[in-house]
Chain A
Amino acid sequence: MKPLAKNGILLVIVLALAFSPLFLARNAEFAGADDQAEKAISTLNVNYEPWFKPLWEPPSGEVESFLFALQAALGSGFVFYYLGYAKGKNSVNKKEQS
């Protein structure tokens, strides 16, 4: 089997891993880690006060998810730019050789 065809199967497995929890743990909150970590630390050390606040916080959940989406978009943009570039370079090299 060609490596690229294998990727199709692998992608299905990744998607299953990512989405199955939504169906398996229906009642869960799927909350972000950060708020829950605060609670766990306060049970271990009741008197602990965070001594530094983030310099800037996204004003709302929407803005935060926008920034996360932006991060993913920029990253995947470059990853696939590279893969396309590599593919193009590869096919040019092949043509020259033949």
Chain B
Amino acid sequence: MNRRNVKKTGLKISILLAYVLGVYIVFPDSAYAMHIMEGFLPFNWAAFWMVAMVPFVILGVRSIKKTVTLYPNLKMLLGMAGAFAFVLSAMKIPSVTGSCSHPTGVGLGAILFGPTAMTVLGMIVLIFQALLLAHGGLTTLGANTFSMAIVGPLVSFGIYKGLNKLGAPRWLSIFLAAALGDLMTYVTTSIQLGLAFPAAIGGVMASATKFMSIFAFTQVPLAISEGILTVMVFNVLSVYSQKELRLLSIFSGKELPSSKQGVKA
């Protein structure tokens, strides 16, 4: 490692430490940030998010089918993207606000396979946790899927594509895509809670801001962790799975050729 790199890393670490200390000083109270619990959304809202989820799930199943028929040898990589979300959402990590939350892990798959593919994989993770761990819930599955498996991956995918076009370094696009996708998941959760439980004074906005001020700050260090972990996986993939990444046009940045899809699908 040369000296400039050392200096850069040093700077990054000190910024990080300053942030962590800053948050601890400003928000000493414990907070919470996780999925919406079973039964905690009024029936109408639960139904609304359930319906809102459906078109994305259908698109996701189609997108996965297309990927698998076009490139059967990418099945393993797809499974790995799902497994990554599975691990990360099992890790309840302490945050500087004095409570625990967990990352979502959907950014990796969204960058590799597109946002709707992760809707399906994320939903499977949420069903597992709702049934076996009483974490999240079946009635709130729609809302939780919408935040973690629809908004999160869409944000990740959009940021990755956008930054790529702007010519940002690949590691930066991946880091920001995964980190902001994670953060936006919890911003969505607080908006959902705000909509369902408007404050007596200030209504939906006041309530959503309240949830958000708690959520966002707990989640920030975790979002940074998720961003770094996603970059780490990409580093390994870029060494050992170049062929697969090229197929998915991660390296060239080109879209999948449409003529090919017509022939095989």
Q: Give every chain B residue within 8 A of A69 (Cβ-Cβ).
A: 90
Name the one of A51, A53, A68 contacting B92, with C-beta atoms under 8 angstroms: A68
Docked complex Cα distance between A60 and B242 (Å): 45
Known: A17-B16, A83-B240. A10 touches B99 (CB 8 A): no
A-B contact count (CB 8 A): 209
Q: Measuring CB to CB, which residues of chain B are less than 8 angstroms from any residue of chain A?
A: 1, 5, 9, 12-13, 16, 20-21, 24, 28, 30-34, 36-40, 42-43, 76-77, 79-80, 83-101, 128-135, 137-139, 193, 197-200, 207, 211, 214, 221-222, 224-225, 228-229, 231-233, 235-242, 244
Known: A37-B37, A79-B84. A52 touches B137 (CB 8 A): yes
Nearest chain-B residue to A86 (Cβ)? B240
Q: Measuring CB to CB, which residues of chain A are less than 8 angstroms from any residue of chain B?
A: 1-4, 6-7, 9-11, 13-14, 16-22, 24-25, 27-38, 40-41, 44-45, 48, 50-58, 64, 67-69, 71-72, 74-79, 82-83, 85-87, 89-90
Nearest chain-B residue to A1 (Cβ)? B1
Known: A13-B228, A29-B98, A79-B83. A85 touches B133 (CB 8 A): no
Name the one of B34, B42, B79, B95 contacting A32, with C-beta atoms under 8 angstroms: B34
Known: A32-B92, A50-B39, A85-B76. A14 touches B228 (CB 8 A): yes
CB–CB A33/B32 < 8 A = yes
Q: Give every chain A residue within 8 A of B20 (Cβ-Cβ).
A: 17, 20-21, 24
Q: Give every chain A residue within 8 A of B42 (Cβ-Cβ).
A: 48, 51
Q: Give every chain B residue within 8 A of A20 (Cβ-Cβ).
A: 20, 96
CB–CB A64/B133 < 8 A = yes
Q: Give every chain B residue within 8 A of A45 (Cβ-Cβ).
A: 197
Nearest chain-A residue to B242 (Cβ)? A90
CB–CB B197/A22 < 8 A = no
Docked complex Cα distance between A91 and B86 (Å): 28
CB–CB A90/B131 < 8 A = no
Docked complex Cα distance between A32 and B130 (Å): 15
